């Protein structure tokens, strides 16, 4: 006779969900000390909640000590499943609000970095319109890399994302919002500094012998490097990193003109032959096709479209 195995956890209670939310916050913040501020509870309470969750699950989720905070292999798996579970719980609450014809709960918006200084971006106006129309919705704004935003929207961590377009997914819907111009910059410490404003013969072929600082994930920047066969000598994972590499004087790299303007005005950077060495990025709002976005997410996308 085959004996059925007993479930290790049993029914998930409200306390379990609370503990899982604490666990997710600790991981997202990178440790208990940072999570203390986010959760507005003492670090000893945060630590006790994590210990209670580990006892409840029968697993060691993380290591903490002088070496810092780190997830175990089991903790990585539980974190991924926690994100899915809590996203599903939020989707249920949003669905319930829709049945009652009201909008509440929390909306997670993720945007690509350095968009606030773009005069073509009206994200702030869209947020103002959204808040006026749905004041009971708690809006959480995240800044993340392009790939992290895509993954987050697909797995339910984010409700709406704003990213530069690079490749389309059949699982996402796209709404074009604005664009930005990318130019190649060098710093005052770079050998090309004196020629930046006078060498108008510099073209794409001339970049073959230069040290280019480029983004380390699939993006318009990476696509350009591959199409033009530009040699990447250093890698950054956001625009701040690329700017720092350029300022070192060892590399040149592409930056949005609106972001680089602050360095140009200070005399720290110059664009190299901007009439030729530039490209454009289009930005899109993305939402997951299935399950259908919440009413609040659809309203935010509508506000983004109206202010574009």
168-193, pLDDT tens digit by residue?
Answer: 889 999 999 999 999 999 999 998 88
**What's the pLDDT score for residue 141?**
96
**pTM, full prediction:** 0.70
Domain(s) of CATH 1.10.10.10: residues in the chain: 14-80
**What's the pLDDT score for residue 125?**
97
Residue pLDDT, tens place only, 207-236? 888 889 999 888 889 888 888 888 889 999
Domain(s) of CATH 3.40.190.10: residues in the chain: 101-178+283-307
Contact 300, 177 (CB under 8 A): no
Phi-psi region of 300 (alpha: psi -120 to 50; beta: other; left: phi over 0): alpha
Summarize the chain as % helix, strand, coil (round to 5).
45, 20, 35
Contact 157, 80 (CB under 8 A): no
- CATH fold of 101-178+283-307 reads D-Maltodextrin-Binding Protein; domain 2 (3.40.190)
Which has the closest alpha carbon to 172: 282, 288, 295, 305? Answer: 288
Using CB atoms within 10 Å of the CB of residue 67, give its burial: 0 to 12 exposed, 13 to 18 middle, 19+ buried: exposed
Tens digit of each residue's pLDDT, the chain (308 residues): 444 444 456 778 888 888 999 999 889 888 888 888 778 788 888 889 999 998 989 899 988 777 678 899 999 999 999 988 888 887 777 777 666 666 778 999 999 989 999 999 999 999 999 999 999 999 999 999 898 999 999 988 999 999 999 888 899 999 999 999 999 999 999 988 887 666 567 889 888 888 899 998 888 898 888 888 888 899 999 999 999 999 999 999 999 999 999 999 999 999 999 999 999 999 999 999 988 898 899 999 999 999 98
Domain(s) of CATH 3.40.190.290: residues in the chain: 179-280
According to CATH, what is the number of the domain 14-80? 1.10.10.10
Instruction: Quote the radius of gyration of the chain (alpha carbons, Å).
Output: 23
- CATH fold of 179-280 reads D-Maltodextrin-Binding Protein; domain 2 (3.40.190)
**What's the pLDDT score for residue 196?**
64
């Amino acid at each position: 006779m085959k004996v059925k195995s007993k479930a290790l956890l049993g029914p998930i209670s409200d306390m379990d969900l609370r503990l899982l939310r604490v666990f997710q916050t600790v991981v997202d913040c990178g440790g208990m000390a940072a999570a203390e501020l986010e959760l507005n509870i003492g670090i000893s309470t945060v630590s006790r909640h994590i210990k209670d969750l580990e006892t409840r699950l029968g697993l060691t989720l993380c290591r903490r000590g002088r070496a810092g905070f780190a997830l175990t292999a089991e903790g990585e798996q539980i974190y991924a499943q926690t994100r899915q579970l809590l996203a599903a719980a939020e989707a249920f609450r949003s669905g319930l609000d829709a049945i009652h014809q009201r909008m509440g709960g929390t909306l997670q918006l993720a945007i690509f970095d350095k968009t606030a200084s773009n005069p073509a971006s009206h994200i702030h106006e869209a947020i103002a319109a959204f808040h006026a129309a749905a004041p009971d919705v708690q809006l959480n704004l995240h800044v993340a890399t392009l790939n992290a935003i895509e993954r987050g929207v697909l797995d339910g961590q984010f409700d709406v994302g704003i990213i530069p377009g690079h490749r389309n997914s059949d699982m996402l819907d796209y709404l074009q919002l604005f664009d930005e111009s990318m130019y190649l910059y060098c710093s005052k410490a770079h050998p090309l500094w004196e020629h930046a404003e006078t060498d108008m013969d510099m073209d794409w072929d001339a970049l073959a012998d230069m040290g280019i600082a480029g983004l380390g994930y699939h993006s318009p920047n990476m696509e350009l490097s591959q199409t033009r066969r530009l040699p990447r000598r250093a890698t950054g994972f956001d625009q701040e990193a690329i700017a720092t590499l350029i300022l070192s004087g060892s590399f040149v790299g592409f930056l949005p003109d609106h972001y680089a303007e602050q360095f140009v005005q200070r005399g720290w950077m110059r664009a190299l032959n901007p009439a030729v060495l530039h490209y454009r990025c289009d930005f899109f709002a993305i939402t997951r096709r299935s399950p259908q976005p919440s009413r609040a997410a659809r309203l935010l996308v509508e506000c983004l479209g109206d202010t574009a």
